[in-house]
Structure 1
Amino acid sequence: MNISLRHLRAFVAVAEASSFTTAARQLFLTQSTLTKTIRELEQEIGLTLFERTTRKVALTAQGNAFMPVARRLLNDFELLLSDLREKSAGSSGSVYVASSLAFASCVLPEVLKRLKQDYPCIHVRLLDDTSGGVVRRIESGEVDIGIGSYVGAAGNKLDKRKLLSARLGVMFPPGSQLPTGPLSGPSLRDLPLLQDEGDTSIMATLAHSLPGLWLQVNSKITVTNLDIQFALIRAGVGACVLSALAASHPTARDLPYRLLEAVGLQRDIHVFTRRGVPLSPAAFTFLQVLEEVLPDIAFHPGVTLAV
């Protein structure tokens, strides 16, 4: 026979009550069953745990030494069960998220604020990357959830669901003389543009809609980090093609921004998960909170939420 939780609970109940009768009532057992359980425990460990008299039950020296051990084992087990219940309910656990920087900066602060408030035991590890990097991270299994535009070819390894569309536009340095009339795709060739890395969704969209653009633009600076782009624009180094999602960033709302009128110049943001791999309860909770928060974000007018 092995010592079980039944034996530990019986031992602690008798020790705390100093009575077999009271402990049996608390455990909803007959006194004979409880007595048998304690006898089994003492036989298994080879020690007498209780001194029994007609008037009281007291712990022996060995029983006193065993008491903190029994309590710790029971407490550890209860904590483990509680943790498992919380994880099963999605109220604790870890979730790994890779997101494009514009979405991470404009949307995820409100998502994480809500999570911290309602689900304080969920741990989120957040990584920012280009859209191509987000797809690679979710495809490789490095993260549970990816948020960005679809760049590259992941075949049938990913499931994706559209969250929003953001038109492209140009952000200009403060005090710039803005072009008159609609801002079209071809007019980009005349602007001092900062260039982006090739695996970003904006570069992919421009390459598809305006092939050869970068052969005609005199662009000598390539930068992908959104914060650095804002800093260079603010310093007057150049203008930059950015999505209306990026223009929604709180630190950039004072910078001049004009939407492009060309059809198809937009960035679609999706949430990616691995096909055939069930989401953990914590990841599922993260996505639920994201869906609840998204409609309340103050986006630039060029952003349209998916239906």
Structure 2
Amino acid sequence: MAVHDVGIRHLRAFLAVADTLSFSQAALQLGTNQSSLTRSIRRLEEMLNTRLFNRTTRHVSLSESGERLRDDLVVLLPRLETALVPDTTETTLRLGFSWLLPDGWVQAAIARFEEETGVGVDLVHRDERLAGVDRETVDVALVRGRPTANGMHVVEVDSEPCVAAVLRTSPLAAHPRLRWADLADHPLVLNACTGSVGVEDWPEGHRPRKTVTCHNFDECLELVAMGKGIGLIPELVLRRQLHPAVRFIPIAGAPDVPLNLVHPIHGTHPLARRFTTLATATKAAGYGTPALRRSVA
């Protein structure tokens, strides 16, 4: 055995016996049995290659090596244990997003995560393709579409149909539901930075002949409101009043857009994977969109 095999439990066991000079009292203090405590002390002595206690059937005393180790550990072990306990008052997980957060399950997952870990979640809006996770400005990102990013762990949690965003005064706004053919003659407001749907997602024969480029969700809405074209937006906008000049209308046969949680494979926040796993489980448990989708279908 080597020194690097020494564990905190061995050191705690040693200090308990050094303090009480009794294996039975130390075992009671640690909530263990005497035979297990004796094995821990014996392993520690083997790893350090020295005798720490002088033992007889009636008496236990510290050896010279034991006294030196006790004097050092009385100072060092509490500091080590404190260093290994995270200061949750200053620790947060940064969750990046570029578009609207989905209804229900994200909020439930955040609340559950904060309750279980004591770590707060900071929401960070980033107008970037990967919402800042590739630049390390966030720890986990909620990304729509099919992101391709080396060194990233991508988990598809949900998917969302698209709806059309149209000017309220446009003839299209009179339709309760649109077809791709209805949209083909209208310019497409294309979110080139954080958009999840491109011209290639439209059916052959109905693709728009003109596009107007923007770089984020707000610009997309404002361009639609100015009559510059139509936009394709996640369907959760049907449940929110986002712009007085824009109406959101379902599209027959609209493609489902994947909704992913993304975090780095290496060098990630220690709780990033836990958040992703918990959020996936929360969505699978039925929080969020299914009932709401039925209400707007």
Query: What are the ranges of 5 or more consecutive residues in structure 2 without an aligned counterpart?
Result: 4-9, 28-33, 39-52
- The reply to whether residue 201 of structure 1 matches residue 196 of structure 2 is yes
Structure-2 separation of matches of 1:281 and 1:201: 29
Residue 222 (1) aligns with residue 217 (2): no
SS at match of 1:167: strand
**Any gaps of 5 or more consecutive residues in structure 1?**
15-19, 50-65, 84-92
Given candidates 154, 162, 184, the residue that maps to 1:168 is 162
Identity value in percent? 12
Residue 180 (1) aligns with residue 179 (2)? no
CA 1:76–1:32: 2 relative to 1, 3 Å: same
Residue 207 (structure 1) shift? 6.3
* 1:142–1:204 Cα change, 3 Å: farther
Q: Does 1:265 align with 2:250?
A: no
Code of the residue aligned with 1:165 in structure 2: it is S
Distance (whole Å) between structure 2 residues aligned to residue 198 and residue 214 of structure 1: 20
CA distance in 2, matches of 1:273, 1:169: 28
**1:74-113 matches, cutoff 5 A:** 74-80=77-83, 97-103=95-101, 107-113=105-111
Which residue in the other structure is 2:31 paired with? none
Instruction: Answer 1 or 2: which has greater helix percent.
Output: 1
Amino acid at match of 2:271: A
Distance 1:71 1:211 in 2: 76
TM-score, L = length of structure 2: 0.57
Q: 1:133 corresponds to which residue?
A: 130
Note if contact 2:95-2:123 (Cα within 8 Å) is conserved in structure 1. yes
Counterpart amino acid of 2:130? G
Q: Residue type of the partner of 2:293?
A: P
Corresponding residue of 1:117: 115
* CA deviations over 1:25-84 (Å, ceiling 9, x no partner): 421489954853265455x49xxx9xxxxxxxxxxxxxxxx7xx865533333345666x
Q: In the alignment, which residue of structure 1 is the partner of 2:25? A: 26
Measure the CA separation in 2 of the matches of 1:211 and 1:175.
23
Name the CA shift for 1:302/1:279 in 2 (closer, same or farther; >3 Å): farther
Q: How many residue pairs end up in the alignment?
A: 251
1:131 CA displacement: 7.6
CA distance in 2 between partners of 1:240 and 1:290 (Å): 29
- Amino acid of the structure 2 residue aligned with 1:133: L
What TM-score do the two structures reach when normalised by structure 1?
0.56
C-alpha separation between the residues in 2 aligned to 1:190 and 1:204? 13
- What letter corresponds to residue 285 of structure 1 in structure 2? R
Q: Does the CA-based 8 Å contact 1:259-1:302 persist in structure 2?
A: no
Contact 1:148/1:271 (<8 A) preserved: yes
Q: Give the direction of change, closer, same or farther, for the CA distance of 1:211–1:108 in structure 2 (3 Å limit).
A: same
Q: Deviations over 1:92-127 (max 9, x none)?
A: x87665444234676533321121122214x55655
